[in-house]
């Protein structure tokens, strides 16, 4: 594709956001209480993230917001040479917003019909849509439980968290070294679009089972994100963690276990390769203790189980990479091949290094908003070489 020239005409596509009050709700404004950012600033922050991660900014994509009167309108702007992309994105954003309105209605239904299950610990639950991620060119979708609060406040970034960071490293271990490609493989969707603290999973599940208040939202967003391929298949879906696997199973009447693959008709008339997987956070919890994640210290008692989880997760990421390349493959065969690859003794050095590295997740400020790893992958590699590739060896 030829890059646009200075004389290439720009086309503008409007995307209605509703009234100011509706736009305020859809974008969870203000994301950071006390911030000086305006509603317009907040909308553009999230939309520009999507334009960048979809690879459209390099083609001259831009956006503006008009808040005249009591209505908000987003305007997508881009050169005519790639006008089809702008037109399609405008339609997708319009559907995304409509789906978001479904979730707002679902949230209101919880609060009116069953208020005792809404934020029972007064944790400060907040509505949060999965803004800022690819919407046009995503290569796969990952279904999760709910977004941690730090993604909204203070990070304002769905990928600024130890969970997507770990998944990026799992993809890299399976050959996805390009950052832009890795981002396209991480179109996240949460069963409950509710930002809450990391310890709120049990309470969030109460709005999903036995009555799934967000069922209509989940079905609509899955249909939107799972882009159809010409072959009659969609891009693959990875369902991460016990609660999402339970929700998915209820939606489509299947039993989906860890590292179990199948074909499911998620979008009517299309086949979706689906894999059940661990939640990436499960490794951290097992390695460091479920109540002490972020300590930077891997517990000797947790290391053996964490090492097993690491292998399962590397297998899941390898399945994702392969099925992304060709979703028409038999998902069970690909899973078997991926499992054999990571159970080959030749992979022991990398498995060991990753356990040593990721097992030292550290929150310097005591909260997930700031995170690092005390042991780098290179340091983990050196440790493993000196300890016969045993990630649980004492130093």
Average confidence (pLDDT) per 10 residues, the chain, 395 residues: 56 95 98 97 98 93 92 93 88 98 97 97 98 98 98 97 98 97 98 97 97 98 93 97 98 98 97 98 98 97 98 98 97 98 98 98 96 98 97 90
Beta strand spans in the chain (E): 10-19, 62-66, 71-79, 126-127, 141-144, 187-190, 194-195, 237-240, 260-264, 272-277, 361-362, 372-373
Say if CB 182 and CB 140 are below 8 A apart.
Answer: no
Give the CA diameter of the chain.
68
Say if CB 191 and CB 141 are below 8 A apart.
Answer: no
Determine the Cα–Cα distance for residues 71 and 146; give it in Å rounded to an integer. Answer: 30
- Which residue, 239, 152, 235, 234, is CA-closest to 189? 239
> Residue 177 to residues 43, 171, 314: CA-CA distances in angstroms?
30, 8, 15
Determine the Cα–Cα distance for residues 197 and 149; give it in Å rounded to an integer. Answer: 6
Determine the Cα–Cα distance for residues 352 and 378; give it in Å rounded to an integer. Answer: 11
Whole-number pLDDT of residue 10? 84
Determine the Cα–Cα distance for residues 302 and 108; give it in Å rounded to an integer. Answer: 41
pTM (predicted TM-score): 0.96
Whole-number pLDDT of residue 105? 97
Whole-number pLDDT of residue 8? 66
Say if CB 42 and CB 30 are below 8 A apart.
Answer: yes
**Hey, which residues does 79 pair with through a beta bridge?**
10
Determine the Cα–Cα distance for residues 334 and 141; give it in Å rounded to an integer. Answer: 18
- By DSSP bridging, strand 187-190 and strand 141-144 are parallel
> Residue 366 to residues 293, 302, 363: CA-CA distances in angstroms?
10, 21, 5
């Amino acid at each position: 594709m030829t890059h646009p020239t200075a004389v290439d005409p720009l086309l503008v596509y409007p995307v209605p956001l509703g009234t100011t009050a509706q736009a305020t709700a859809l974008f969870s404004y203000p994301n950071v209480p006390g911030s000086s950012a305006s509603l317009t600033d907040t909308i553009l922050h999230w939309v520009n993230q999507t334009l960048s991660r979809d690879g459209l900014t390099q083609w001259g994509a831009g956006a503006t917001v008009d808040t005249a009167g009591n209505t908000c309108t987003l305007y997508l702007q881009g050169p005519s040479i790639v006008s089809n992309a702008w037109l399609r994105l405008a339609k997708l954003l319009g559907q995304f917003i409509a789906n978001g309105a479904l979730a707002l209605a679902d949230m209101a239904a919880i609060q009116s019909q069953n208020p005792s299950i809404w934020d029972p610990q007064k944790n400060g639950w907040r509505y949060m849509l999965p803004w800022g991620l690819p919407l046009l060119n995503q290569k796969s979708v990952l279904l999760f439980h709910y977004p941690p609060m730090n993604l909204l406040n203070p990070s304002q970034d769905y990928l600024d968290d130890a969970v997507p960071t770990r998944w990026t490293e799992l993809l890299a271990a399976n050959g996805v070294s390009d950052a832009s490609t890795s981002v396209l493989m991480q179109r996240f969707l949460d069963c409950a679009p509710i930002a809450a603290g990391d310890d709120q999973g049990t309470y969030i599940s109460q709005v999903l089972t036995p009555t799934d208040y967000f069922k209509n939202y989940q079905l609509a967003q899955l249909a939107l994100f799972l882009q159809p391929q010409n072959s009659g298949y969609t891009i693959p879906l990875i369902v991460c963690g016990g609660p999402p696997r339970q929700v998915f199973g209820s939606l489509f009447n299947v039993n989906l276990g860890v590292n179990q693959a199948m074909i499911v008709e998620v979008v009517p008339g299309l086949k979706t390769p689906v894999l059940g997987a661990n939640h990436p956070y499960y490794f951290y919890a097992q390695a460091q203790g479920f109540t002490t994640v972020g300590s930077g210290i891997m517990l000797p008692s947790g290391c053996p189980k964490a090492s097993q989880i690491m292998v399962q997760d590397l297998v899941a990421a390898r399945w994702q990479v392969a099925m992304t390349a060709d979703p028409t493959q038999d998902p069970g065969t690909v899973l078997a091949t991926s499992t054999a690859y990571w159970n080959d003794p030749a992979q022991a050095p990398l498995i060991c290094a990753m356990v040593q590295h990721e097992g030292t997740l550290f929150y310097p400020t005591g909260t997930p908003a700031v995170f690092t790893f005390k042991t780098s992958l290179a340091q983990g590699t050196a440790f493993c070489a000196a300890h016969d590739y045993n990630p649980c060896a004492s130093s």
